[in-house]
């Protein structure tokens, strides 16, 4: 069974803890800012429907999105480095993170963008024709009719807190009316990584099954492990020589037709999946040069080369 490097679990734990603390801290800050009277009751800027509270929410939501994006990309990088056999899992995590970030961004930025697109004058002009306008605006007209008589220049100019929030909801409802370019833009942006995920997931179903099936066995072995059982784990460790010398031999056997492409791929995967350890000496510059030659002659793919390079550099 493949063993993760000793430092992988602590690194992943730190990543998750840092992510959780950052998100919780920002959400608490968002709640505190939303309860401050001077911000909650702040008026709109000029003819717009944007106030200081909305701007503060915009900044905090952006920080939350950046934290989520950083977490997903960091997690993907760790998976690629620690589990070379499941390198595609890292790519899947990265693209799934982008999808999640875009979905959150759609909701987070909709109100600010709507309040930029629709100002007080737009609501007033629409209010003047609301009695003769057919009910083609759907949600907007229902919300507008509930506030009939309140949408006046003086009311909007002096609106703050809950009253201004209602006008912002009106702006969002109007903003969502067809053709709703904002929604179409995000739909296209979200569809791109989603479509690219389908072949990746389909191609790695067997790897996912193997990874999930190994979890109970790994947990059980860890729970029962004794100090004497560390010997087979150490024996499973690899060294730079295993990569820079064994892989060229496998490639020569493949070129000579002695083994099949599948045999080569399977054996290479086993060698690359073992954690690298250099108990007697650190990785030398010559090891990195040999690794680069494996990329040049096609023995390693670009992704495999980058992963091995990172692991070699960690041992210098």
Whether 180 is in a domain gets the answer yes
Whether 218 is in a domain gets the answer no
Q: Residues 192, 77: one domain?
A: yes
Whether 303 is in a domain gets the answer yes
Q: Residues 8, 139: one domain?
A: yes
Q: Residues 185, 290: one domain?
A: no
Q: Residues 63, 141: one domain?
A: yes
Query: Residue 262, Cα to own-chain centre: how many angstroms?
Result: 33
Q: Residues 17, 141: one domain?
A: yes
Whether 137 is in a domain gets the answer yes
Q: How far apart are CA 314 and CA 82, in angstroms?
A: 12
Q: Residues 43, 169: one domain?
A: yes
pLDDT at 32: 93
Helix, strand or coil for residue 212?
helix
Whether 219 is in a domain gets the answer no
Q: Residues 23, 124: one domain?
A: yes
Nearest to 168 by CA among 223, 130, 112: 112
| Number of domains present in the structure of the chain | 2
pLDDT tens per residue across all 316 residues of the chain: 344 444 455 677 888 999 999 999 999 999 999 888 888 777 777 777 888 889 999 999 999 999 999 999 998 888 888 777 777 788 888 999 999 999 999 999 999 998 888 877 776 676 555 444 444 455 555 555 555 445 555 555 555 666 777 778 888 888 888 888 999 999 999 999 999 988 888 887 776 676 666 555 555 554 554 444 443 433 444 667 777 788 888 888 888 888 888 888 888 888 777 766 555 455 677 777 887 888 888 888 888 888 888 877 777 6
Site of tokens 């100019």: 157
Helix, strand or coil for residue 228?
helix
Query: What range defines the domain where residue 179 resides?
Result: 1-204
Nearest to 43 by CA among 33, 32, 54: 54
- Looking at residue 42, the DSSP 8-state letter turns out to be P
Q: Residues 159, 79: one domain?
A: yes
pLDDT at 13: 84
* φ and ψ at residue 225, rounded to 5 degrees: -65, 140
Q: Residues 16, 75: one domain?
A: yes
Buried b (16+ CB within 10 A) or exposed e, 7-41: ebeeebeebeeebeebeeebeeebeebeeeeebbe
Q: Residues 199, 242: one domain?
A: no
Question: Of the residues 204, 219, 254, which one is the last residue of a structural domain?
Answer: 204
Whether 230 is in a domain gets the answer no
| No. of helices (H) and no. of strands (E), the chain | 16, 0
pLDDT at 226: 45
Q: How far apart are CA 272 and CA 270, in angstroms?
A: 6
Q: How far apart are CA 89 and CA 96, in angstroms?
A: 10
């Amino acid at each position: 069974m493949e063993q993760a490097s000793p430092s992988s679990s602590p690194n992943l734990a730190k990543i998750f803890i840092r992510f959780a603390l950052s998100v919780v801290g920002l959400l608490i800050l968002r709640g505190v800012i939303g309860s401050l009277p001077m911000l909650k009751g702040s008026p709109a800027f000029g003819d717009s429907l944007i106030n200081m509270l909305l701007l503060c929410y915009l900044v905090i939501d952006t920080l939350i999105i950046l934290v989520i994006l950083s977490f997903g990309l960091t997690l993907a990088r760790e998976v690629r480095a620690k589990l070379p056999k499941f390198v595609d899992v890292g790519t899947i995590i990265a693209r799934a993170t982008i999808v999640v970030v875009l979905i959150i961004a759609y909701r987070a930025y909709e109100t600010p963008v709507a309040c930029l697109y629709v100002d007080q004058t737009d609501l007033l002009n629409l209010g003047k024709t609301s009695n003769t306008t057919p009910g083609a605006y759907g949600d907007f007209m229902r919300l507008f009719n509930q506030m009939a008589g309140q949408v006046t220049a003086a009311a909007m100019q002096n609106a703050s807190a809950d009253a201004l929030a209602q006008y912002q909801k009106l702006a969002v409802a109007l903003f969502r009316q067809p053709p709703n370019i904002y929604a179409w833009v995000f739909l296209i942006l979200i569809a791109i990584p989603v479509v690219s995920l389908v072949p990746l997931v389909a191609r790695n179903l067997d790897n996912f099954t193997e990874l999930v099936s190994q979890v109970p066995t790994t947990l059980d072995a860890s729970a029962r492990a004794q100090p004497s059982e560390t010997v087979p784990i150490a024996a499973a460790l690899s060294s730079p020589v295993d990569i820079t010398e064994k892989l060229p031999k496998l490639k020569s056997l493949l070129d000579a037709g002695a083994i099949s492409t599948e045999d080569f791929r399977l054996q290479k995967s086993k060698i690359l999946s073992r954690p690298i350890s250099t108990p007697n000496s650190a990785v030398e510059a010559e090891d990195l040069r040999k690794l680069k030659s494996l990329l040049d002659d096609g023995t390693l793919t670009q992704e495999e080369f980058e992963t091995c390079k990172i692991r070699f550099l960690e041992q210098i």
